[in-house]
């Protein structure tokens, strides 16, 4: 039975926490150079939360006022029986929005099931429209597979689709106009993301590849008039409308050049069950230990969550001048 709390989750800086991102796997069928090393060692199954444990945790959070959950990875759709998880989450009382971030590779076979399960919003990673360049960035990905995934999501009836694009200097920064044109043609939104310095990813030089959101905006103004908007999807993107194409929103996620910490409303649950209080900090709570140590004790679980939120830091500590800010890879953290 649903027992919503009368006390919402409020952190020490008076930010209401209502958004949870859950990583369901550290595995992925791509090896994007900004996300992980080419030769990754993945976690043993025993260290992962079970799907049933994820449902228990999600229910505890919704009773504490979390009304938006986004499922991430790795690539979440490669996890066995993941559609069952979406079906369970889609029935949680109090959940206003169930969303997904994916590389799109599995959407041709799963899009219809996701729509039926109650997923309302899908973000699809797309860093290049050039097949050879797409392969270079993802190391193993095929552009045609992702484009087919976008078509499958559209055919399944998803109307709230957004592209996520990580822009890297000298790799894809010259495609920002083409990517926005593609979004306009397909009726999609798009967010440009500054690379986040998580994990050791081989020879890739993050400082040399840095391309700021301000540079992207300047590039776009050569073709488009960007109109600032106060619209939000509950995440960190700051959006603009295109004057000539008002149905498309262009967002910018700028952890380096324009911090979004002051409005942070998010928590992250890693695939191991660590509750991360900030993407760019290491403070965390081992919720796997709590639910396995106190099975069925929802009150204990929620007490621990509240205690953790009381320690949420003011902001991240990203710094491109340091070779590695955090050893934790993005595929483990959740994209």
59 inside domain: yes
CATH number at residue 249: 3.20.20.70
Q: How confident is the model at residue 2 (pLDDT cuts 50, 70, 90)?
A: low
1 inside domain: no
**Can you give the pTM of this predicted structure?**
0.89
- Which residue segment(s) compose the domain that 169 sits in? 19-333
Enter the tokens of residue 41.
């060692």
C-alpha dist (Å) from residue 129 to 104, 238, 305: 14, 23, 42
Q: How confident is the model at residue 257 (pLDDT cuts 50, 70, 90)?
A: very low
Specify the number of domains making up the chain. 1
Enter the tokens of residue 149.
């995934």
Closest CA to 127 of 9, 222, 32: 32
Phi, psi values for residue 189, rounded to 5°: -90, 165
Gap between the Cα atoms of 188 and 250, Å rounded: 9
Gap between the Cα atoms of 126 and 193, Å rounded: 11
**Cα 165 from chain centroid?**
12
Packing angle of the helix pair 107-117, 82-89 (nearest 10 deg): 20
Q: How far apart are the first and last CA of the chain?
A: 31
255 pLDDT higher than 80: no
pLDDT of 150-181, one tens digit each? 999 999 999 989 999 999 998 999 999 999 99
288 pLDDT higher than 80: yes
Helix (H, G, I), strand (E, B) or coil at 286: strand
Q: What is the pLDDT of residue 227?
A: 96
261 inside domain: yes
Gap between the Cα atoms of 282 and 294, Å rounded: 24
6 inside domain: no
| Tokens 């009368």, residue located | 6
304 inside domain: yes
The region of weakest confidence among 7-16, 49-58, 261-270 is: 261-270
Gap between the Cα atoms of 76 and 26, Å rounded: 8
For residues 214-243, average pLDDT: 91
286 inside domain: yes
Closest CA to 255 of 191, 319, 199: 319
Enter the tokens of residue 203.
């020879």
Q: How confident is the model at residue 233 (pLDDT cuts 50, 70, 90)?
A: confident
324 pLDDT higher than 50: no
Gap between the Cα atoms of 275 and 284, Å rounded: 5
Q: Which residues of 158-171 are buried (b: 16+ CB within 10 A; e: fewer)?
A: beebbbbbbbbbeb
Q: How confident is the model at residue 259 (pLDDT cuts 50, 70, 90)?
A: low
105 inside domain: yes
222 inside domain: yes
Helix (H, G, I), strand (E, B) or coil at 177: helix
C-alpha dist (Å) from residue 56 to 52, 132, 163, 292, 297: 6, 43, 30, 11, 10
pLDDT of 49-107, one tens digit each? 999 999 999 999 999 999 999 999 999 999 999 999 999 999 999 999 999 999 999 99
Per the prediction, the chain carries an average pLDDT of 88
User: pLDDT over 90 for what percent of the chain?
Assistant: 72
Element containing residue 226 per DSSP (H, E) = strand 226-228
Strand 121-125 to 97-102 pairing? parallel
């Amino acid at each position: 039975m649903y027992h919503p709390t009368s006390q919402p989750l409020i952190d020490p800086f008076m930010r209401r926490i209502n958004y949870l991102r859950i990583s369901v796997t550290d595995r992925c069928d791509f090896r994007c150079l900004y996300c992980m090393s080419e030769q990754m060692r993945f976690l043993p199954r025993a260290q992962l939360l079970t799907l049933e444990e994820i449902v228990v945790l999600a229910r505890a959070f919704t009773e504490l006022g979390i009304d938006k959950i986004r499922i991430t990875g790795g690539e979440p759709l490669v996890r066995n029986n993941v559609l069952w998880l979406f079906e369970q989450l889609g029935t949680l009382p109090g959940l206003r929005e169930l969303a997904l971030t994916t590389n799109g590779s599995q959407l041709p076979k799963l899009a219809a099931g996701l729509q039926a399960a109650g997923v309302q919003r899908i973000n699809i990673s797309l860093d290049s429209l050039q097949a050879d360049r797409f392969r270079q960035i993802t190391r193993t990905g095929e552009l045609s597979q992702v484009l087919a995934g976008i078509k499958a999501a559209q055919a399944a009836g998803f109307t709230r689709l957004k592209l996520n694009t990580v822009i890297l200097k000298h790799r894809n920064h010259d495609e920002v106009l083409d990517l926005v044109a593609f979004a306009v043609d397909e009726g999609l939104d798009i967010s440009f993301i500054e690379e986040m310095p998580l994990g050791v990813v081989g020879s890739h030089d993050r400082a040399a590849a840095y391309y700021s959101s301000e540079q992207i905006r300047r590039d776009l103004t050569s073709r488009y008039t960007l109109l600032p908007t106060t619209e939000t999807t509950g995440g960190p993107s700051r959006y603009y409308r295109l004057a000539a194409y008002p149905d498309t929103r262009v967002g910018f996620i700028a952890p380096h050049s324009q911090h979004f910490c002051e409005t942070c409303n998010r928590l992250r649950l890693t695939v191991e069950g660590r509750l991360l209080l900030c993407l760019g900090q290491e403070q965390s709570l081992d919720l796997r230990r709590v639910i396995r140590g106190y099975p069925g004790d929802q009150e204990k679980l929620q007490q621990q969550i509240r205690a953790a939120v009381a320690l949420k830091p003011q902001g991240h500590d990203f710094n491109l001048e340091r070779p590695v800010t955090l050893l934790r890879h993005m595929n483990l953290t959740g994209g």
